[in-house]
Structure 1
């Protein structure tokens, strides 16, 4: 099997706590706030777990500071905070009834609840998203009680008709209250759409909601601690780090003894679906589970080559789309034309770009078109799939 596609979790190793390491200077975090409104100003003192950016439309989760410190910079897309002091935000109370109220409380405490709805079939996805992104193992094996706390809160909030746990074949993982399903640990079987098909036999039916096991853990930890979760487990190579949200990727790479070259690409996530950062000061987000380095070759990994019409992207697309046609229209700004080719059904697995003989940035073109289309108010169905 191509190791790039294997989703078998690795053996558990010791987790490194970032704050216990010698960082060689003051610790500073960088929080991405793209599309959100800043709630703080330069030189303002902030407490750990204090909200620093929120969505005025009430859709995206609120961003909180993961440390106590001073705001050193506020830009359109980023807030930088230097660690200082030991201030902690006041605990919050969570409502015990009302679907909208309970889900909104989670969103305001940093949890992405988009797609969750009442009376659904709830699937907890414990599959590694890509190779090496297997922090679920530690969370499920060590913090089952926290997972149960999160599940109980969701049961009160959305009253699911059934709860299922999807995990790799051979992993004896359980969460009380969930029916277990073993999934063949081969990418892209870990993606929500394929998880749903494997468990229900249907392709993304409207009555099914899928959340990541890490999200369930964060819900449980948030409810239990009455504060937003400010720490994430990020795997760099074979080393898992427990680190504050917003930790610059450069710090984690240094602690893992990685020295990226001049033209290497640093990816938040995996090589197929992750997103490259332009600076090692870029901080990890609450959803970041791994950092991947793509080593530079003599030639670029992707090029602005024309499509050669080989059809490999179509043959290997699990959603049965035509990525070649979608990317061609997106490349020239003809975004609405991509609707003809069902762009909203793209699950962004990245296999089209992997198999492309012309090395075109197919997934990037598709994501660009989705972003442009989602900005238009008439395309509500597409926006919900982002």
Structure 2
């Protein structure tokens, strides 16, 4: 099997705890695009303190993962240098009703938008891409914490059924969840593919999916009464336990990578991840890995016209026409992409991988989705 497409979890190795590596101080970078900062430059902040929130109250709040001093605030980032050992006061969780419980989780940094009342709940424990298997450690070592998170979701959502999607051959279990083994080949670990494998239906409205790492974060948030500040991030073959916001430059260096000109550093995997434009970019709370794509004599993608070979259409698991969507998006005809079912795209990246002309097909699709989300056209694109 092509290693790029294999989702078989690797054997567990040692965990590298960033905080135990003798660093004199750590500078984190938190993404706050579209958020409202709650602190200003020079402020002292505590570990797990809320530093930014969504003015519309839809997205999870942003919390500092270290105790320190705010060194810089931009439209998209907050930088904090570690200093001291202050810890924020415990969070208050409204356990009186389902809505209050979910809002408490959102305020604690959990994205609750995928969750639905009375739906089938699927816990996705399949690696998103090859190598992004850090949740293996979570589900094997912190099963009790994950069960605490599952109990919370059962109380808040009253799901009609719970399922655990796991790679074929793994013996992972979660009490109360029916196990579904899925062939560990990309893109079978993406949520849309998992839903189809578990339910036999495509995009059913009565199903919601969260990954195993999110379930862990829910359980840990409830257990510790504070926002989760440390996450598991896989870089190459090294699994790091590191604060949210740790800069990717530090992680790739500690993993043994040397970055040269025109190399690409990507949050998550090379097929569906997103490249960062600076090594100061921090990992987010839902980041599962950091990938490095070395530069070659030929660019990985080029600004070239579509040759109409149809390879992206043949490879598309959503059975849409990425070629036509990218053509319209390329020339700013974003609303035209609605005629080609752009909302059905779950951004697996296979269109770009197999493109004969090496066009940035997925990037054009993401551009179109972003532009459409600014208009009251398609609510699904803003989820």
Please give the TM-score of this superposition, normalised by the length of structure 1: 0.98
How far 1:119 moved relative to its partner? 0.4
Corresponding residue number in structure 2 for 1:11: 11
How far 1:377 moved relative to its partner? 2.5
Q: Contact 1:234–1:241 at 8 Å: present in 2 too?
A: yes
Corresponding residue number in structure 2 for 1:238: 237
Q: Secondary structure at the match of 1:233?
A: strand
Alignment of 1:133-282 (within 5 A): 133-282=132-281
Q: Contact 1:97–1:156 at 8 Å: present in 2 too?
A: no
Alignment of 1:68-79 (within 5 A): 68-79=67-78
What are structure 1's unaligned runs of at least 5 residues? none
CA distance in 1, matches of 2:240, 2:139: 17
CA distance in 2, matches of 1:210, 1:234: 21
Q: Contact 1:96–1:156 at 8 Å: present in 2 too?
A: no
Alignment of 1:251-330 (within 5 A): 251-330=250-329
Q: Contact 1:41–1:74 at 8 Å: present in 2 too?
A: yes
How far 1:378 moved relative to its partner? 3.6
CA distance in 1, matches of 2:308, 2:192: 27
Could you say what the CA RMSD is over the residues aligned between the two structures, in angstroms? Answer: 0.8
Alignment of 1:108-123 (within 5 A): 108-123=107-122
How far 1:362 moved relative to its partner? 0.4
Corresponding residue number in structure 2 for 1:354: 353
Q: Which moved more, 1:330-339 or 1:253-262?
A: 253-262
Corresponding residue number in structure 1 for 2:2: 2
Q: Contact 2:248–2:283 at 8 Å: present in 1 too?
A: yes
How far 1:379 moved relative to its partner? 2.4
1:204-245 CA-partner distances (Å, limit 9, x unpaired)? 100000101100000000000000000011111101000000
1:112-150 CA-partner distances (Å, limit 9, x unpaired)? 111211100000000000000001110000000000000
How far 1:94 moved relative to its partner? 1.1
What are structure 2's unaligned runs of at least 5 residues? none
1:25-66 CA-partner distances (Å, limit 9, x unpaired)? 531111011111111000000000000110010111110000
Q: Contact 1:353–1:361 at 8 Å: present in 2 too?
A: yes
Alignment of 1:14-93 (within 5 A): 14-23=14-23, 25-93=24-92
Q: Contact 2:187–2:193 at 8 Å: present in 1 too?
A: yes
> Aligned residues, how many?
383
How far 1:383 moved relative to its partner? 1.8
Which 4+ stretches in 1 moved above 4 angstroms? none
Corresponding residue number in structure 2 for 1:344: 343
Q: Secondary structure at the match of 2:375?
A: coil
Q: Secondary structure at the match of 2:198?
A: helix
How far 1:263 moved relative to its partner? 1.1
Q: Contact 2:10–2:131 at 8 Å: present in 1 too?
A: yes
